[in-house]
Amino acid sequence: MSSFDEDELCFPQLLNSSCRKSIRPYFESMLIYTILFSISIVTVILNMLVIISISHFKQLHTPTNLLLLSLAVSDCIVGFLIIFQIILINGCWFLGDIMCVVYFVLDYVITSASIGTMILISVDRYVAICHPLHYSTQVTKKRTDICNCLCWMFCVLVNCLILKDNLKQPGRYNTCVGQCVVNVNYASGLADMILSFIFPVTVIVVLYMRVFVVAVSQAQAMRSHITSVTLKCSVKVTAKKSEMKAAIILGVVVVVFLICVCPYYCVVLSGQDTMIDAESSAIIMCLFYINSCLNPLIYALFYPWFRKSIKLIVTFKILETDSCNTNL
């Protein structure tokens, strides 16, 4: 065999069992590496800013922000997982069969936890807008912590069951040395699609529609009484504007979520789910990952406290004594 052929192998020393590299033009490879690395860095940085902000400043220790914290943690880990996609881009896996399975389990668990937290955030906003009088008693920090824990535990349990055959025998579905694939049967793929796509989308859309209807009806009531605005009413006007803003933000979340995850689940629905190859699904998964980069922009950058906390973080003022009590 020629040296050129050997250079195309993931492991040239294993001529008969090594996988072959995917040969791409230099410019195309560098472009893909740059895009993936940029997504990874931006995702980690943005979500780390959210994590530091909510964790450090006591004023931000609210039920809603605890949900944002959970979302930021999962999305930050997704940012680190993108590095593995960079490793896999040429079709070669050099970290062994066990790490391959660990990577896929983490990938499934973290993305599921991110989607699950989005549902909790939608529920939180629904109660706050549609049942404001009961919000303070029904949604507490303790209950929010419990919901976050249950969400993560459920994601770990379900995805370990989906990938149980791969966990029992790592690398059992590899056809050559240097390959990283996992097998997901039809029933497991269907369950994953329902729990990670159909159910979340249904819940989020239904809650959003309810929030939108309530916000619109309140806006109409506000306009009908605009002539008799008093100080008390002005407070209500501000509250209603806040509710409408929440409805708009939630609508953006739904649209971005669908754009990012639909391609992946379209592949699942097409029936091509018996063998998920990390290389062949790299582009689709990257689009899936981009949602984790956009989440902090959608959820956090809309809020003034995030912009103020960023300024305090980058100027290292959070290191000052009693900075955790800063009024944002």
Residue pair 75/43 in contact (Cβ under 8 Å)? The answer is yes
Residue 19 lies in a domain: no
Residue 24 lies in a domain: no
Res. 208 pLDDT band, cuts 50 70 90: confident
Number of domains in the chain: 1
Residue 9 lies in a domain: no
Give the pLDDT confidence of 40-87 residue by residue, as tens digits: 899 999 899 989 999 989 888 989 889 989 989 998 998 888 888 777
Give the pLDDT confidence of 236-251 residue by residue, as tens digits: 444 455 556 656 766 6
Instruction: Report the distance separating Cα 269 and Cα 263, nearest Å.
Output: 10
Triad 45, 243, 218: Cα angle to 5°: 165
Environment class of 187 (CB within 10 Å of its CB; exposed 0-12, middle 13-18, buried 19+): exposed
Q: Record the tokens describing residue 190, joined without a space.
A: 């269907």
Amino acid letter for position 289 = Y
Residue pair 244/236 in contact (Cβ under 8 Å)? The answer is no
Mean of pLDDT values over 124-140: 85
The boundaries of the domain holding residue 89 are 32-223+233-325
Residue pair 77/112 in contact (Cβ under 8 Å)? The answer is no
Give the pLDDT confidence of 83-122 residue by residue, as tens digits: 887 777 777 888 888 888 888 899 889 888 988 888 898 8
Residue 13 lies in a domain: no
DSSP 156-197: HHHHHHHTHHHHHSTTTT-SSBT--EEE--HHHHHHHHIIII
Instruction: Report the distance separating Cα 194 and Cα 191, nearest Å.
Output: 5
Residue 308 lies in a domain: yes
Residue pair 193/262 in contact (Cβ under 8 Å)? The answer is no
Q: Give the H or E element holding residue 72.
A: helix 63-88
Looking at every residue in the chain, the average pLDDT score rounds to 78
Residue 20 lies in a domain: no
Residue 27 lies in a domain: no
What is residue 285's predicted lDDT score, i.e. its pLDDT?
Answer: 66
Query: Residue 219 pLDDT more than 70?
Result: no
From the list 103, 89, 112, the residue with the least C-alpha distance to 23 is: 89
Query: Residue 147 pLDDT more than 80?
Result: yes
What is residue 221's predicted lDDT score, i.e. its pLDDT?
Answer: 66
Instruction: Report the distance separating Cα 321 and Cα 316, nearest Å.
Output: 11
Query: Residue 291 pLDDT more than 90?
Result: no
Residue 277's CATH number = 1.20.1070.10
Residue 281 lies in a domain: yes
What is residue 307's predicted lDDT score, i.e. its pLDDT?
Answer: 83
